[in-house]
Amino acid sequence: MNETFVEVVAESRLMRRIAELGKEISADYAGRRPVVLGVLNGCLPFIADLVRSMPGPMEIEFLSLTRFGEEGRVSIAMDTTTPLQGRHVLIVEDIVDTGLTLASLRRMIEIRDPASVATVALLDKVPRRIIEIPIEYRGFEIGDEFLLGYGLDWEGQYRNLRSLWAVTDLSVLKRDPYALNQETATTGEGFGAR
């Protein structure tokens, strides 16, 4: 069997953890009406499942970022439709790696004078952090491996996988960006697997 791609977090475990996060965040935000702010494109499956485990009042907004330069600077490519001034903003990220993207984003949001800013990240790649940045809620702490699926991509692919996969040999994807599709097509795992 091909060991290049290993399923590391099954869909059922993702759902359990996200439900716990939703409950914890809902309790903390009781009596407030947060703006739940998804960072596209990677947040998509996570925010969809998270907000459905948060029954209280909220607005759901999105923005997308363009990265430039080595030092992780970003600009806003698509902005929110709701002003953030005076609002409780909860940033929803798929993964925090070096932390540079999130640090820039938080600065850009804080300039807008919100009532509060917090972050929920599904995945926190702790050993890769190069800038100290608060992450108020996190799904899983992970190591240095490259992950795919459930929002995470390689060249735009694999965001639609229902579970999280680790790539043990990136050279396989560099040669063939669709290699995991071929793998799942033959084993029947990954897409739609429960």
41: preceding bond cis by omega (within 30 degrees): yes
Dist. CA 78–CA 80, nearest whole Å: 7
Is residue 124 a contact point for ligand IMP (CB under 6 A)?
Answer: no
In this structure, the strands spanning 59-68 and 116-125 are: unpaired
Give the one residue of 2, 26, 98, 181 binding ligand IMP; rule: CB under 6 A. Answer: 98
Active-site positions read 97
| Residue 151 CB partners (closer than 8 Å, separation 6+) | 41, 42, 43, 44, 45, 46, 94, 122, 159
Candidate ranges 17-25, 94-102, 106-114, 177-185; the one touching ligand IMP (CB under 6 A): 94-102
* Min separation Cβ 137 and ligand IMP, Å: 16
Q: Are 118 and 110 in contact (CB under 8 A)?
A: no
Return the residues of window 156-185 that contact ligand IMP according to CB under 6 A.
none
Is residue 119 a contact point for ligand IMP (CB under 6 A)?
Answer: no
* Min separation Cβ 103 and ligand IMP, Å: 8
Binding site for ligand IMP (CB under 6 A): 42, 72, 94-102, 125, 146-147, 152
